[in-house]
Structure 1
Amino acid sequence: MDNELAGKVAIVTGGASGIGRATVERFVSEGAKVVIADVDRDRGEDLAATLGVDVSFQSTDVAQPTEVSALVAVTVEKFGGLHIMVNNAGVSGTMHRRFLDDDLADFDRVMAVNVLGVMAGTRDAARHMVASGGGSIINVTSIGGIQAGGGVMTYRASKAAVIQFTKSAAIELAQYDIRVNAVAPGNVPTPLLASSAAKLGADAIERFTATIRETMRADRPLKREGTPDDVAEAILYFAGERSRYVTGTVLPVDGGIVAGKPIRRRSDARENK
């Protein structure tokens, strides 16, 4: 659908790379004006310069609510409004072999970025949207917030919090014609997974990510690998008019992992005996 977002203004936090970058590029291709918010100034400014005059970069640490407020204010001043807010910025926790070994040293930072940043972004975007007739807010969570599992416990807890917050905000903000939904990616190659093993050496990180991805691949009913573009398409759906009667929804974009284990063909089972 061409120019689905024509005349719309959007903010994408964490927009300089990964899912955020794919979302920025998709929104621009649909006619939106976009502000990229990120702590990575070099990547953010380079991307904005590549995409043209309808894209701007604003250095923003979403863990600081004052910076999020400034982001919304700058966007409204520059482009004349705000119709779509994508709270995508996120960080992973440090991977530990056992939860019993977790020193919780990264708890404050993970919660500040992944939860406080989403709450501040939703609040400040909604404050403008209330006065301008509504809008769409999309929060990026994770299947790690839906399914229980071992490892990166703080990250999992933060993403579960985003889901509950999204549903609660959707109920409260519906009276202002503001829709609040969430996308839950899974098994999508982004820099986030490797960051959880940042304390390891380069070779160890590569082995770690390869092992995790192989495990995810085995648990995924669909055989095709997911991409940031797949997640961006889901975000576009929530941003546009096709979802005008949808709010409080959490959409996994995970190749079917949350739905259940893949069914192995009999031929596969025989081959593995």
Structure 2
Amino acid sequence: MAAELARDLAGKVAVITGGSSGIGKGMAEKFAAEGAAVVIADIVDDRGEAVAAELNDQGGTALFVHTDVAEPAQIGRLVAATVDTFGGLDIMVNNAGISGTMHRKFLEDDLADFHKVLSVNLLGVMAGTRDAGRHMSTHGGGSIINLTSIGGIQAGGGVQTYRASKAAVIQFTKSAAIELAYYGIRVNAIAPGNIPTPLLKSSASDENRAAVEEFEAGIRQTMRDDRPLKREGTAEDVAEAALYFASDKSRYVTGTVLPIDGGTVAGKVIRSSGKPIPAN
């Protein structure tokens, strides 16, 4: 009993969209280990069911619910299923996201995937925040965590629709935090950077997958070179930040955007010539 009470999320109920792989899976594992009942929402049924089964086998409590976050009605059903199964909802993680089709130049972008990217990356976050907030507003509050990206903070070339969607998530998160604070609901965002996940590869067709992988490798190497901290980021690093926002340790924190990026958005590394700096 003492060990159970020591866990940060004991007795809590959490929903994680896009929870079957990558960062979402890492958060599901972390939350389950900290005592939360975890609902994994995803469109990849076999993978989501496997993660839920794995968590249950490890002594956790997990459920998979097929959910396409681009369809707000499905998010409403997800929240209802969570409350019906576990009796409440304390933590909502709007993590599901897609990169969109890669183009080497914006002038070559036909914007054909604009509505798809915005539907998943922005509409899904807004509907998830709204529907979770509707429950939390009458049940003592809660924590909502939205996943953005350092691509929504820093300007740059490539994946412009993705960058725009993630920047919109930041502004929405801050605005929702102001409005929902009245109900004791905290709304914060996490901005991962250079965390290896299947996100970018999933946007490539079979014909250009090799080219996209080469392009991605170049981008990631550039980010490594510019990153102040030289250790590689992992899904667990993001999960630790999510745990902080989900737990009572952040009870006085809302409307924030936390980059998990090894210092990338702070600025590029200044490479020294090795010569001593003269005193003034």
TM range (shorter): over 0.9
How big is each residue's C-alpha offset from its partner over 1:37-76, in whole Å with a ceiling of 9 and x where there is no partner?
0001010001111111610000000000000000000000
User: Is 2:29 the counterpart of 1:29?
Assistant: no
Any gaps of 5 or more consecutive residues in structure 1?
269-273
Q: What is residue 9 of structure 2 aligned with on the other side?
A: 5
Listed as ranges, the matches of 1:31-180 within 5 Å are 31-52=35-56, 54-180=61-187
Q: Is contact 1:8-1:32 (8 Å) kept?
A: yes
Percent of aligned pairs with the same amino acid: 69
User: Is 2:268 the counterpart of 1:251?
Assistant: no
Query: C-alpha separation between the residues in 2 aligned to 1:142 and 1:13?
Result: 16
Q: Is contact 1:129-1:135 (8 Å) kept?
A: yes
Q: What is residue 242 of structure 1 aligned with on the other side?
A: 249
Give the counterpart of 2:224 among 194, 198, 217: 217
Query: C-alpha separation between the residues in 2 aligned to 1:212 and 1:126?
Result: 37
Alignment TM-score, normalising by the size of structure 2: 0.93
Query: C-alpha separation between the residues in 1 aligned to 2:205 and 2:245?
Result: 33
Alignment TM-score, normalising by the size of structure 1: 0.95
Cα shift at 1:205: 3.3
User: Is 2:208 the counterpart of 1:198?
Assistant: no
Query: C-alpha separation between the residues in 2 aligned to 1:196 and 1:208?
Result: 13
SS state at 2:35 partner: coil
Query: C-alpha separation between the residues in 2 aligned to 1:227 and 1:161?
Result: 24
Any gaps of 5 or more consecutive residues in structure 2?
276-280
Cα shift at 1:202: 4.2
Query: C-alpha separation between the residues in 1 aligned to 2:216 and 2:155?
Result: 20
Listed as ranges, the matches of 1:222-237 within 5 Å are 222-237=229-244
Q: Is contact 2:102-2:212 (8 Å) kept?
A: no
Q: Is contact 1:197-1:208 (8 Å) kept?
A: no
Cα shift at 1:198: 3.5
How big is each residue's C-alpha offset from its partner over 1:108-146, in whole Å with a ceiling of 9 and x where there is no partner?
000000000000000000000011000000000000000
Number of aligned positions between the proteins? 268
Query: C-alpha separation between the residues in 1 aligned to 2:62 and 2:164?
Result: 33
